[in-house]
Chains A and B, each alone.
Chain A
């Protein structure tokens, strides 16, 4: 069976391609119509869909003709880059490509329905090529999406751990959002480097923005505190909510080596005290001058 198939490939593809070219307008319209009917690509307007449909169709036929996938792949990547920010989903992209495959297959059925033998050969040529195209388009969409997600994760990681210098030798680290192992490790890293470059002696870690804490996260915090100590910086942890405090006690995490202060303000005041700062209101000194 294998031999006739390959033969069919060679002889039928040109015929197939010219058939698709001849019926370009009709097939394109039918495809666009079916996309709209299936409520796919709801994020795009009908005109946009039609223009994308046209170029996808042409690339599709080109790929069938030449068998070279490079230009299609390039186009698919470019297309994914354009449509992902608009909220197009994976199922929509796959749905569209499969619709095109169906539309074209139907038109082949219609044309060759008289000659079953020939139809078979044409389909033998058409199906593997069409499936390969569907796979390429789907895979490049998913890859592009993963790339975007990876990029966003990196951005979030960068954003989420600012180490702030409050005063000479005093750093504050407000932690916002869930902590996981990866983030905790990165945070420790960033903090230790900041301790070195700012020559910090006291660090205030504020966890008001951490919604929940488990054993792992608590241990990470303890590790961070210990590492800072090794570098000669004292650490104050502030903003433990009553829920979190209760959880920690229930879990039995040993926090005896962590100094905690109720809120960020208290922590900063305590740190200033440790560093020998004395903060006074400017007005408090002035009554003497007024006299």
Chain B
């Protein structure tokens, strides 16, 4: 089953419900990048709360989406990384220092709100 991508205001929310195969990761990546353009989204939230493992392929793909999103003038935030997953990722050296993360969906939305407000300020000035 492909990961559902929900439109929520100016943002897209992709909520991953299960462990993903590499193919599904690529599919998600493609769909997200396509829909940014289609909906003129300002932000993407990828919710990984349900993922027990984030391997190097998944983290690299997510990172690619985030960097591509940025190039298209939007911002991405990954939410819901669990404590064990976070420890494991750090130990395996899967670095996401340049990627936004937030605790949960609510925080992620708040982050994007702040980000768009700041950008609007910058544009206005």
Q: Which residues of A contact B (CB under 8 A)?
A: 185, 188-189, 192-193, 195-196, 199-201, 223-224, 226-233, 257
Contact = CB atoms under 8 A, between A and B. Distances in A.
Contacts of A229: 96-97, 101
Nearest to A193: B83
Given A223-B91, A257-B97, A230 B86 contact: yes
Contacts of A232: 79, 81, 101-103, 107-108
A230 B90 contact: yes
Nearest to A197: B83
B87 interface: yes
Contact of B83 (A185, A226, A231): A231
Interface in B100-119: 101-104, 107-108
A228 B82 CA distance: 10
Contact of B101 (A185, A193, A231): A231
A256 to B, nearest CB: 10
A233 B111 CA distance: 12
A271 to B, nearest CB: 16
Nearest to B91: A223
A228 B90 CA distance: 10
A82 B39 CA distance: 75
Interface residues of B, number: 21
A211 to B, nearest CB: 25
Given A231-B81, A232-B102, A232-B103, A189 B87 contact: yes
Classify the interface of chain A: helix, strand, loop or mixed: helix
Contacts of A192: 83-84, 86-87
B89 interface: yes
B6 interface: no
Given A192-B87, A232-B103, 8 more contacts: A189-B87, A193-B83, A223-B87, A227-B90, A229-B96, A230-B85, A231-B83, A232-B107
B86 A227 contact: yes
A230 B101 contact: yes
B95 interface: yes
Nearest to B59: A230
Scoring A195, A228, A229 by chain B CB atoms within 10 A of each residue's CB, the highest score goes to A229
B102 A189 contact: no
Top 10 closest A-B pairs, CB basis? A192-B83, A232-B102, A227-B86, A230-B86, A232-B103, A227-B90, A223-B90, A226-B90, A232-B101, A230-B81
Contacts of B78: 230
Contacts of B95: 226
A195 to B, nearest CB: 7
A219 to B, nearest CB: 10
A172 B101 CA distance: 20
Contacts of B108: 232
Nearest to A228: B86
Given A231-B101, A233-B103, A257-B97, A196 B87 contact: no
A200 B83 CA distance: 13
B101 A226 contact: no
Contacts of B85: 230
13 contacts: A189-B87, A195-B103, A200-B103, A201-B107, A223-B90, A226-B90, A227-B89, A230-B85, A230-B86, A230-B90, A231-B86, A232-B102, A232-B107
A196 B89 CA distance: 17
Nearest to A257: B97
A225 to B, nearest CB: 9
B16 to A, nearest CB: 15
Contacts of B102: 232
B82 A196 contact: yes
Contacts of B90: 223-224, 226-227, 230
B50 to A, nearest CB: 14
